[in-house]
Amino acid sequence: MVDPMNTFSNAKFTALIVYDEPESGKIWSSVLEQIDLHVHMANITEDIIGTWRDLLPDLVIFEDFNTKIEELSICHKLRKLTPIPILLLTSKNDEKLLLEAYQTGFDECIVQPLHPLLFLAKVRAWMRYSRFIPSSLVEDVHVQDYLLEVQQRGLTTADGTRHQLTYLETDIMYILMKNPGKPVNSDILVESIWGKYGGGDKIMLKNLVYRLRRKIESDPISPTILLTDGRLGYTFSPQ
């Protein structure tokens, strides 16, 4: 996988800022633009999940709100859909709130006030740790009657059905479709998808394949697209 920090000057990474106070959101947006991030701003009252699906950002930042209900609920939903870094900017140094935020799915709670340079350093660290390639750098993959649209996270199968994928599902399909008919070792898949220090393992990989089979296979119990190759790993088998 490509380290995002090695390609910062060559591609635009996208950050989504979810705000309650527009003026404060604009301030952090201008800070992020200093490291050449493309920033999209959305009010907490908008359809944040829909915005995320349309934008497919590399990073999501929630600002401190007057209440905590919306941010925790939305983060919980997002975390089920994507492994990208989700940060919380908050003025509340409340241990109970911070613990709940971490348990909900936030990767880091950044307590304000803080210097903009420290904020940028934290953002850079999370972008580097995430190890994800921006979709703008990756071309779609077309193998026989299968089409993987990387930026849209969509897979069209041989029967013409288009399936919406998650980030992890897109990652594994990209790797396997770049090696059609050839088994890819499980260890290689784990490191490529989660990163060397990302906490992934073969059980998580197996669960990922299971969920993907339920989505794209006509019979997940007897798969014909994603095959298990014994101890070797998994193979994409175009029909």
**Any residues with CB less than 8 A from the CB of 161 and at least 6 apart, and which?**
none
Does 3 have pLDDT greater than 50?
Answer: no
pLDDT of 196 reads: 53
In this prediction, residue 198 has a pLDDT band, given cuts at 50, 70 and 90, of low
| Rounded average pLDDT over 92-116 | 85
Structure token digits, residue 173: 């399909």
pLDDT of 10 reads: 38
pTM over 0.85: no
3-class state of residue 184 by DSSP: strand
Structure token digits, residue 231: 């101890």
Domain 138-236, CATH number (from 3.30.530.20, 2.60.110.10, 1.25.40.340, 1.10.10.10):
1.10.10.10
**What are the start-end ranges of the E strands in the chain?**
13-19, 37-43, 59-62, 86-90, 108-111, 141-143, 146-149, 154-156, 162-164, 184-185, 226-229, 233-236
Chain segment 14-29, per-residue pLDDT in tens = 888 888 777 777 888 8
For the domain made up of 4-133, the CATH class stated in words is: alpha beta
Chain segment 45-100, per-residue pLDDT in tens = 888 888 887 777 878 999 876 655 678 888 888 887 777 788 988 888 888 888 88
Q: Tell me whether domains 4-133 and 138-236 share a fold.
A: no
What does the alpha-carbon distance between residue 215 and residue 235 come to, in Å, rounded to a whole number? 17
Segments making up each domain of the chain, as ranges: 4-133, 138-236
**Amino acid letter for position 159:** D
Highest-pLDDT range among 16-30, 37-51, 121-135: 37-51
